[in-house]
């Protein structure tokens, strides 16, 4: 489990370097990608510092994942929406309204779940269930976003 957290964090950081051009330039992209990088580092920290060995650093890493990762999705969704509104000319940032909405909704769901989790309101899901609702939007979003770009990218962009 810990190795999977470390690996996921490293994959997020690698993906940022490779996929940043998929978002239109501007404040929302810069803030979203910065927060996503911090969330990736946080996810790795969760694996590097298991809860039973270093609760402080484990919680700090989890907070980075839960708060910053979910906020990053919302900001990157707004960036995609702004590209749609302003007609960004780059093919990498062409209109993706469904992904923009999915990104914003995923981020908001994760943030609300995080607030419920830290205030001990589990809505019948138990502590572990609410923790999953707070944590899983980011990995699911990474999969959906990656598939969206792979599906819509010209073959030369996937190979290059």
Is 92 a domain residue?
yes
User: What domain range is 60 assigned to?
Assistant: 2-151
- For residue 112, how many other CB atoms are within 10 A of its CB? 13
User: 160 in a domain, yes or no?
Assistant: no
Q: Is residue 157 in a domain?
A: no
φ, ψ of residue 11 to 5 degrees: the values are -65, -40
Exposed / middle / buried, residue 84 (Cβ in 10 Å: 0-12, 13-18, 19+): middle
Tell me, yes or no, whether 99 lies in a domain: yes
In the chain, the largest separation of any two C-alpha atoms, in whole Å, equals 50
Q: How many domains does the chain have?
A: 1
**pLDDT in 10s for each residue of the chain, 160 residues:** 999 999 999 999 999 888 888 888 889 999 999 999 999 999 999 999 999 999 999 999 999 999 999 999 999 999 998 765 555 444 445 557 899 999 999 999 999 999 999 999 999 999 999 999 999 999 999 999 988 888 876 554 544 4
Contact at 8 Å (CB) between 33 and 74?
no
pTM: 0.84
């Amino acid at each position: 489990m810990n190795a999977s957290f470390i690996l996921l964090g490293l994959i997020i950081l690698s993906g940022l370097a490779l996929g940043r051009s998929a978002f239109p330039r501007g404040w929302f992209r810069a803030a979203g990608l910065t927060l996503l990088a911090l969330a990736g580092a946080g996810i790795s920290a969760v694996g590097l510092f298991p809860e039973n060995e270093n609760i402080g650093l484990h919680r700090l890493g989890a907070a980075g994942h839960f708060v910053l990762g979910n906020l990053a999705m919302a900001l990157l969704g707004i960036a995609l929406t702004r590209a749609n509104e302003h007609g960004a000319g780059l093919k990498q940032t062409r209109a993706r309204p469904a992904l923009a909405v999915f990104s914003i909704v995923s981020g908001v769901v994760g943030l609300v779940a995080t607030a419920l989790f830290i205030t001990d309101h589990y809505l019948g899901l138990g502590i572990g269930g609410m923790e999953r609702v707070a944590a899983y939007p980011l990995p699911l979003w990474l999969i959906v976003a990656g598939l969206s770009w792979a599906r819509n990218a010209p073959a030369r962009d996937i190979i290059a």
